[in-house]
Structure formats: C-alpha cells, structure tokens
Chains A and B, each alone.
Chain A
Amino acid sequence: MSTIQIEDVSRWYGNVVAVNGVTMTIGPGVTGLLGPNGAGKSTLIHMMGGFLEPSSGGLSLDGEPIWRNPSVYRHIGLVPERESGYDFLTGEQFIVSMAKLHRLPDPEAAARRAIGRVEMDYAAARTIGTYSKGMKQRIKMASALVHDPAVLLLDEPFNGMDPRQRLQLMDLIRQMAAEGRTILFSSHILEEVERLATHIEVIVAGRHAASGDFRQIRRLMTDRPHVFALRSSDDRALAAAIIADGSARSVRLTEQGLEVETTDFERFTRLVPQLARKAEIRLREVSPADESLESVFSYLVGN
C-alpha cells in the first residue's frame, strides 16, 4: 500500500501558472484526476512521476522525495499520454527491455505476464509502429506494469480508445486497484471518472477545486444554479406554477419559452413533471442550458 503526498505544489512556466498551490494525498484505490483540457493535469502527473520539478512545494512517495530520485521508479509505473513506445521494436522486445531495465530476475516471464494482462499476446511479435492507437496504449500500459508497481500513474489513458478497449482497460484498472494498488488517472470526461474512480480530485485552471467520492463531486456539480430551457403548451401558467412552488430562483418568459434558474437541481427535475401534470400543461421540452463540463468547472472554481 503506497501513498503519494502532494504538498502545496505549484509549477509555473515564466509568467504562466500551470499548477497553483495544490495539496492532496493519493492513496490506494482508483483516484480520478478530473479537469478540463489545459487545467494542469499533465503537469501534475509529470511532477508525481518525477519528470518535472515543482516550482514550490514538494511531492513524496511513502515519505521518499520523488524529484531527482530514480529509486522511486521501483514502485511507480507511469503511462504518459502522448509518447509512443519505440516504433522499431516489437511489442515483446519493448516489454522485455523494460523488464531488463528494471533488473527483474526473470525479464521474459515478467514481460509475458504484463503482455497477457493487457491482452496483447496476439500482437506481441509485431513492431509497435504497426499498432493502432488503442494497441499502443495497451503496450504502454504493459510497460508500466511489468515490474508490478504499487503505484500507477495514467495520463488520459482512454484517449483514442474505442468503447470495447475502454471497457477492457477499465476492468484491468479495477482489478489492479482490487489488488491494493494506488492508481491515479487523469481525464477531462466526467463520465469516465464517475464509472471508474472511487475517489475524485478536481483540478481547474491549475487550482485544486474539489475532492471527494463520486457522490460528493456529483452533488457539488449539481448543487449550483442550473438554467433550464422549457417549452410547453402554456408557458405563462407553467411559469406561475414554478414560481409558486419556490424551487426556482428566477423565471423568464422569452420568445422561445421559459428560462428557469433553479438552485436545487434534483428537486426541480422531479418537480417539473408533477407541476405540469397538476396544471394540465403539456411539456414539450426541458433541457439544461449550461451543462457543459466547462461551466460546471467554472462554477466550482468560483466557489
């Protein structure tokens, strides 16, 4: 069981702050690092992987500093986002080489195990240059697994994968978490994080915006003013009913229908159909007007 400790870490490039005073602890299980593109997720993962010096603050793995300490790689497996393997090696040569670099006692057997775990046996004899994006992702995963590390850092692991590969990788990550590993993966897609992570850290514009399990994050993301667009058979009557109920903060009558701002997402979505039925109004459309992840994130940062 391993823990990564991030303490008041900042990283800036010239005048641009990429990561700003982040403190978090990544323990066993699956942690999702959620944030929009450009939020600083990769910068943070690179610092956790010892590839980037924090401009201030410190990172440690079980008390050992990570920066300039190659011995931590005995316990860390890192899957970078963009870098591919060595295109001119076959999958098997690549993984065996990685096992040898780790000085494992039986590199061939370790490589076979790792390749088996990511289900790449059938393509292990082909050169990596001929692999599809999903296959490259899996062979990178095998390279990070070959020494059976306690900590796995995955930067956007699902990028470019088809739905089936995505499910396979999710299964693999769950299995490895069940074995007691500490796994951190980054994503800008809420749904991926929800399905896989037992713990979520949200990072927006370099700041640590929220932390908790998926329910807490869900609540944070839904307990905020939501704007809905509604169309119905009688907009004025519906507006009156909504105002009378009190779950809305404002109701605006527009040419296209109603624009309702509510502070209680769940109550409002349950309430609207009931109100409509009672007042005998036919609902034609109920749609959230600002559901983009970016607006959710910007709300979180605003608080």
Chain B
Amino acid sequence: MNTTIAYITFRGMLGRRRALLLFFLPAILILLALALRLTGNDTQDDGAAILWTFGLAVLLPLLSLIAGTGVIGPEIDDGQIMYVLTKPISRTSVIVTKYLCAVVLIVAFAVLPLWLAGAIMLGPDSDLPWAFAVGAFLGGLAYCSIFTALAVATRQAVTVGLIYALVWESLLGNFAPGTQTLSVQQWALTVVDRLTSSSTITASVGLPLSAVLLVLVTAAGLALATARLRTLTLASAD
C-alpha cells in the first residue's frame, strides 16, 4: 500500500466528471428504497428483490467496473502511469494500492448504499441489509480484482467487463444455469443466502465452492494485473 499512489488515484477518480457516475446508481437505489417505503410497498419480498436484482446484479458489477478499471485504466491510456512506474516501487505494491482504492470506492458507493437501501425498506431488525452488505463486499473484492486486471491487460477493459457482467452473469445466467457456477454474482448471493434467515434468497452454488472461487478469482486477478504491469508497453513506444 502506497499512500501517494492512493492520493493521486482518489484525486483522479473523485475530482473529475467520472465521479458523477459513481453517485448516480447508488442514488437511484436509495431513491427507489425511499419510494417503496413511502408508498408502503416495503415488504420482505419486494425489498429483497430490489437488493438482489438491482443492487447485487446491476449496481455492484457496474460500480466495480467503473472503480476497478477507473483506478488504473485512464492512467495507462494517457501514459501517466509512467510517472508511477519510473519509481523504485514494486509493481505488486502499485497493483495492491490501486486495488484497495477500488475496494474503498465500492464500499462507499455500492456496499454502504446497499445496506442503507435495505435498512430503509426492511427496517433495522431485518438481517437482509447486513447479509447483502457482506455479500456485496465479498463479491466486490472479486469484481474489483477482475476489472483491475482487465484494465491492465486490455484497452477494451470496459467493454469486456460489461459483456461479462451483463451478458454472461445476467443474461446467460438466466437461460443456462450452468454458467452460474462461474458467476461472481452467484457466489455473492450464496454468502447472502447463508447469512440471512429469510427464505426469499436462494443460491444455486454451494458455499464452500463459492468461497474457494471468490478467493481464487481475487488472487488470480491481482497476480495477473501485477504480471501484466511488469511488462506493460505504453502506446507511445510503438
């Protein structure tokens, strides 16, 4: 962890227009929760459905995509990463710092809003908000690692990330249940299912497998990102 890299990263993420994207989706989720609460539609089923279909399936992957690619992708595209790489700092430290920045961002803009929306809809007594917060956090750890690695490995990181999150996880997950085994969303859902007594959430992947895959994917993403950063070739060198 390098505080200077973190400082530059946060300034870059939050000081520009991109920051609006980070605020936009969580604001919708919380407004939706408030609307349901005020109109009296805040049943256990509706609340859980929104936390799942909007929070876990849309908000979390999209925010992780923005954060995971945003912490390093633009710097590589514009070449400024050179100023970080021409320092006697290990590439592992660069990647770990960038990754932790992304994690902090998704905690602030996905995990906490998810918990807040849940608490608004279901009240403080329900265990669902906490379960979703923990599930989203663990899923976010894996998503951020995948998307950070993508940002280092390819210039089309956002496109590839969107295809994975929307086509593979959401679309194929519905039609071909087999693909759910390889879906961060399902692993996160397994955690939620285990942590709540509510029967509204049913996961399709077992907990041991989910836990192993979450850890493996997170570690593999970080290892890949570090390896690619070590041999990064900037566009201007071509």
A binds B: yes
Residues on A lying within 8 angstroms of B by beta carbon are 13, 42-43, 46, 49-53, 68, 70-74, 76-78, 80-86, 88-89, 97-98, 100-103, 143-144
A-B contact pairs, 30 of them (CB 8 A): A43-B237, A46-B234, A51-B82, A51-B237, A52-B237, A53-B231, A53-B233, A70-B89, A73-B86, A76-B86, A78-B82, A80-B236, A81-B236, A83-B83, A83-B234, A84-B78, A86-B11, A86-B12, A86-B80, A88-B12, A89-B8, A98-B83, A98-B87, A100-B3, A100-B4, A101-B2, A101-B4, A101-B5, A101-B83, A101-B89
Q: Are B80 and A49 in contact (CB under 8 A)?
A: no
Given contacts A81-B236, A83-B80, A98-B83, 14 further A-B contacts (CB under 8 A): A46-B237, A51-B234, A68-B230, A70-B85, A70-B89, A73-B88, A83-B236, A86-B8, A86-B12, A88-B11, A100-B3, A102-B87, A102-B88, A143-B83
Q: Which B residues from 37 to 66 make CB contacts under 8 A with A?
A: none
Does B24 sit within 8 A of A, measured CB to CB? no
Contacts of A97 on B, CB cut-off 8 Å?
Answer: 4, 7-8
Does B208 sit within 8 A of A, measured CB to CB? no
Contacts of B230 on A, CB cut-off 8 Å?
Answer: 68
Closest 9 interchain pairs by CB? A83-B79, A46-B237, A101-B87, A100-B4, A88-B15, A73-B88, A52-B237, A82-B236, A74-B88
Q: A76-B86, A101-B4 are in contact. Are A70 and B91 (CB under 8 A)?
A: yes
Residues on B lying within 8 angstroms of A by beta carbon are 2-5, 7-8, 11-12, 15-16, 78-80, 82-91, 230-234, 236-238
Identity of the chain A residue whose Cβ is nearest the Cβ of B81 in the assembled complex: A83
Contacts of A77 on B, CB cut-off 8 Å?
Answer: 86
The winner among A49, A68, A78, A80 for most chain B CB atoms within 10 A is A80
Which of B5, B15, B90 touches A70 (beta carbons < 8 Å)? B90
Contacts of B3 on A, CB cut-off 8 Å?
Answer: 100
Alpha-carbon distance A13/B87, docked complex (angstroms): 27
Contacts of B8 on A, CB cut-off 8 Å?
Answer: 86, 89, 97
Instruction: Looking at the assembled complex, report how far the CB atom of A212 sits from the nearest CB atom of chain B, in whole angstroms.
Output: 27
Which of A51, A81, A86, A89 touches B233 (beta carbons < 8 Å)? A51
Q: A42-B237, A52-B237, A70-B89 are in contact. Are A82 and B79 (CB under 8 A)?
A: yes
Which of B16, B82, B233 touches A80 (beta carbons < 8 Å)? B82
Alpha-carbon distance A91/B72, docked complex (angstroms): 21
Q: A13-B238, A100-B4 are in contact. Are A70 and B87 (CB under 8 A)?
A: yes
Identity of the chain B residue whose Cβ is nearest the Cβ of A82 in the assembled complex: B236
Contacts of B236 on A, CB cut-off 8 Å?
Answer: 42, 46, 80-83
Q: Are B16 and A88 in contact (CB under 8 A)?
A: yes
Instruction: Looking at the assembled complex, report how far the CB atom of A178 sits from the nearest CB atom of chain B, in whole angstroms.
Output: 24
Contacts of A50 on B, CB cut-off 8 Å?
Answer: 86
Identity of the chain B residue whose Cβ is nearest the Cβ of A43 in the assembled complex: B237
Contacts of A68 on B, CB cut-off 8 Å?
Answer: 230-231
Contacts of B86 on A, CB cut-off 8 Å?
Answer: 49-50, 73, 76-78, 144
Alpha-carbon distance A52/B83, docked complex (angstroms): 15
Q: A70-B89, A97-B4, A102-B88 are in contact. Are A85 and B15 (CB under 8 A)?
A: no
Instruction: Looking at the assembled complex, report how far the CB atom of B226 sits from the nearest CB atom of chain A, in whole angstroms.
Output: 12
Contacts of A73 on B, CB cut-off 8 Å?
Answer: 86-88
Identity of the chain A residue whose Cβ is nearest the Cβ of B11 in the assembled complex: A88
Contacts of A84 on B, CB cut-off 8 Å?
Answer: 78, 80
Alpha-carbon distance A70/B93, docked complex (angstroms): 12
Alpha-carbon distance A80/B86, docked complex (angstroms): 11
The winner among A73, A76, A101 for most chain B CB atoms within 10 A is A101
The winner among B2, B4, B78 for most chain A CB atoms within 10 A is B4
Alpha-carbon distance A78/B83, docked complex (angstroms): 9
Alpha-carbon distance A76/B82, docked complex (angstroms): 13
Q: Are B87 and A83 in contact (CB under 8 A)?
A: no
Identity of the chain B residue whose Cβ is nearest the Cβ of A53 in the assembled complex: B231
Instruction: Looking at the assembled complex, report how far the CB atom of A38 sits from the nearest CB atom of chain B, in whole angstroms.
Output: 11
Instruction: Looking at the assembled complex, report how far the CB atom of B187 sits from the nearest CB atom of chain A, in whole angstroms.
Output: 34
Identity of the chain B residue whose Cβ is nearest the Cβ of A77 in the assembled complex: B86
Q: Are B233 and A85 in contact (CB under 8 A)?
A: no
Q: Are B88 and A71 in contact (CB under 8 A)?
A: yes
Which of A78, A83, A89, A103 touches B78 (beta carbons < 8 Å)? A83
Identity of the chain B residue whose Cβ is nearest the Cβ of A47 in the assembled complex: B237
Alpha-carbon distance A50/B87, docked complex (angstroms): 11
Contacts of A74 on B, CB cut-off 8 Å?
Answer: 88
Alpha-carbon distance A163/B215, docked complex (angstroms): 58
Q: A51-B233, A70-B87 are in contact. Are A83 and B7 (CB under 8 A)?
A: no
Which of A49, A70, A80 touches B88 (beta carbons < 8 Å)? A70
Identity of the chain B residue whose Cβ is nearest the Cβ of A89 in the assembled complex: B11
Instruction: Looking at the assembled complex, report how far the CB atom of A59 sits from the nearest CB atom of chain B, in whole angstroms.
Output: 14
Contacts of A83 on B, CB cut-off 8 Å?
Answer: 78-80, 82-83, 234, 236
